[in-house]
Amino acid sequence: MSRPEIHADPRHTDPPPLLELTDVSKVYRGGKRAVDGLSLRLGPGLLGLLGPNGAGKSSLMRIVATVTRPTTGRLTYRGADALARPELLRRELGFLPQDFGVHPQLTAREFLAYLAAAKGLPARSARARIDELLALVNLTEAVRRPLGAYSGGMLRRVGIAQALLGDPRVIVVDEPTAGLDPEERVRFRNLLSALAEDRVVLLSTHIVSDVESVAGDIAVVAGGRLLRRGSPEELLGGQAGRVWEVLVDPGAVAAVQARYVVSRMVRTGDGRVRLRLLADGPPFADAVPVAPDLEDAYLGLVRPAVANDRPEVRR
């Protein structure tokens, strides 16, 4: 599939945006710590925030989007305090939350026009931008239907379109491909990759395939803390020599899973099961070493952290 065409605003001549979180924590009522002393520095480009459900990703995204304040820590944008002056970031921000609500009686064009007016965009330029975005997310043929008649995947595409209103310099998207079919997932990943050339793009997901094809920079989180940040190659290097494949009888699968991190299992034609697992040394005499992939690297970081509940921070 070809890359989507992106029309950038030629007025953008200011310095590249820079967003920084310093020792950010978020503790909710009752003592639940969703984010725990996390620091990130983001310049132009796409950062994939990868972690399991419950890792604190959505809380962190809401902090970056200035929807919620951290309990402690700092958030700066272009060197200014974005907690004291959130409007500095909000006027250059596009945000797609995990739970995105709409007005079901409005059409997609009416809904986007309403949001554009709320953002203070001029009506004429907003109309042209809305038509461009509806084509970009493949909703042109459905613009006359009320949003209440849209499928979950179509509503997600409306959410993607609203995040891009105003040609934002910072784009924050939380689980953006939920409900999208495979073709639309690829289309959206290509779109984010193209947008990231001169913007800060923060993509949060628990799906490894959402980041492995577009993100040259990945931050793995669990328990609200940063486990590791690096390129895909750097993450893979951390699991070199630790990935193995072994054939076992079906009755032995549960025992292997209890002892090792199993990243994949496939039933073979002879009735046995091929397991792909992580271990510091050969787990069985007939185990075969294989090259790690990003899913192996992700599980190798997250599973021990979740098991220990207090992950070791690796910077």
Q: Does residue 311 form part of some domain?
A: no
Residues 53-73 pLDDT 10s: 888 999 999 999 999 999 999
Q: Does the structure show a pLDDT above 60 at 180?
A: yes
Does residue 70 share a domain with residue 46? yes
Does residue 257 share a domain with residue 214? no
Does residue 174 share a domain with residue 286? no
Question: 3-class SS at 122?
Answer: coil
Contact (Cβ atoms closer than 8 angstroms) between residue 202 and residue 41: no
Contact (Cβ atoms closer than 8 angstroms) between residue 83 and residue 75: yes
Q: Does residue 226 form part of some domain?
A: yes
Question: 3-class SS at 140?
Answer: helix
Q: Does residue 53 form part of some domain?
A: yes
Give the total number of structural domains in the chain: 2
Domain that holds residue 179: 19-92+168-235
The number of CA neighbours under 13 Å toward the Cβ of 246 is 23
- Summarize the confidence of residues 228-250 as an average pLDDT: 93
Does residue 88 share a domain with residue 32? yes
Query: Kind of pairing, strands 243-248 and 273-278?
Result: antiparallel
Q: Does residue 66 form part of some domain?
A: yes
Q: What is the CATH number of the domain that holds 82?
A: 3.40.50.300
pLDDT of residue 124: 87
Nearest residue to 86 via CA among 94, 95, 76 = 76
Indicate the pTM of the whole model. Answer: 0.84
Angle at 210 between CA 19 and CA 240, to 5 degrees: 95
- What are the backbone dihedrals phi and psi of residue 75, each rounded to the nearest 5 degrees, phi first? -130, 120
Q: Does residue 116 form part of some domain?
A: no
Q: Does residue 186 form part of some domain?
A: yes
Q: Does residue 98 form part of some domain?
A: no
Q: Does the structure show a pLDDT above 80 at 148?
A: yes
Residues 16-54 pLDDT 10s: 678 999 999 999 998 899 999 999 999 999 999 999 988
Instruction: Find the range with the poorest average confidence among 137-146, 156-165, 189-198, 273-282.
Output: 189-198
pLDDT of residue 200: 93
Among residues 219, 235, 251, the one where a domain terminates is 235
Does residue 209 share a domain with residue 259? no
Q: Does residue 267 form part of some domain?
A: yes
pLDDT of residue 11: 44
pLDDT of residue 64: 96
Q: How confident is the model at residue 13 (pLDDT cuts 50, 70, 90)?
A: low
